Amino acid sequence: MRLNTPAFTRQVMLGLLYTVLFLLVLYMYLQAGSDKSNFFRTSRECILSHVDVKGDLEKQWSYFPYYVNKCAPQNRLMVQGFSNTDELKYHVMPRPGRTNMECTIVSLGIGKDVEAEKSMRVAMPNCEFWGADPVNETNADIFPEVGKFYNIAVGAENGTFRSYVLEDIYRYQEVKYVDLTTFLRNYVQRSVIDQLMIDIEHAEYAVLPFFLVNGQLAHEKIVICQMNIEVHRPNAEQLKQFFDFYQKLMDEKQWTLMSASSIIGHLRLFMINHGNEECHKRYIGSIYERDDLDTRD
């Protein structure tokens, strides 16, 4: 190729352009890696500036996924999505040096679908899986492919309650419940739950306080590191319950909302417990400088 031709000149210019772009991307990556700022605090301040719990709660519910995703620090952690038939379950992958650790993943509400759990098992072969669902049909056949299945409903209380469950169709029926703390303590028998996935058909509202700093799980010294939860479309009372929980979550500075989506009025939320020391060691490490557990200013 002649050196003074237009084709040669274009190749030189393209080469320079690609080099500049590569150096720019490399610079941004190195800058992100060297940025030790507390991005959890930044995320919290961001979402607090958008969500108005004293305003129209219906409106806040509708915009909540937008606010969460706008403020979430997803690009600072190794977040991986695992696909079910109609949704993604998210998980912050173990940090380098801890990829071979044992871990515990719990699914409450199987919904006759374990594709996400199967993918998680491939990506994290050291994890053990537990699942619970009040519907035995199909769930009892497919969940043992990944772990231990219990034909029971998990909620906030022990007893028998009228519940909305999926068999051939959704319908109400009498269902035996155990509370979340009892299930984790007596059935799973693990004190650290790396991932808790919840889809329990409106029973989640009564369970939300369990995840607070002084909730029942903390009293039993059971730690949840990450959680995917479907919060079903609320009535007026449940709407207030949700935003009361959200405000306490923000006040305690223990959990950070990482992702949110909306489907036919339901919220699907993914969050990480960065305030717990063990969870921090497993999934965050030295990615930012912190002087405490981020539960105080």
What's the per-residue H, E or C state across 192-256? EECEEEECCCCCHHHHHHHHCCCCHHHHCCCEECEEEEEECCCCHHHHHHHHHHHHHHHHHCCEE
Q: What pLDDT, on a 0 to 100 scale, did the predictor assign at position 106? A: 99
Strands 192-193 and 127-132: unpaired
Query: For residues 155, 205, 295 and 192, what is the CA-based torsion angle, rounded to 10 degrees?
Result: 20
The Cα 269–Cα 231 span in angstroms is 8
The per-residue pLDDT for 170 is 57
CA distance 250 to 31: 28
Cα(284)–Cα(203) distance, rounded to whole angstroms? 31
Q: How far apart are CA 104 and CA 92, in angstroms?
A: 14
Whether the pTM exceeds 0.75: the reply is yes
CA distance 223 to 174: 30
Q: What's the pLDDT score for residue 36?
A: 58
The reported pLDDT for the residue numbered 27 is 52
Name the burial class of residue 290, with classes exposed (0-12), middle (13-18) and buried (19+) by CB atoms within 10 angstroms of its CB.
middle
pLDDT of residue 161: 60
Given this model, what pLDDT does residue 101 score? 85
Q: Which residues of the chain have pLDDT under 50?
A: 25-26, 28-30, 32-33, 291, 294-297
Determine what percent of the chain falls in helix, strand and coil, rounding each to the nearest 5.
40, 25, 35
On the 0-12 / 13-18 / 19+ scale of CB atoms within 10 A, 24 is exposed
164's tokens: 């909305």
Distance, in Å, from the CA atom of 286 to the CA atom of 278, rounded to the nearest integer, reads 13
DSSP 124: -
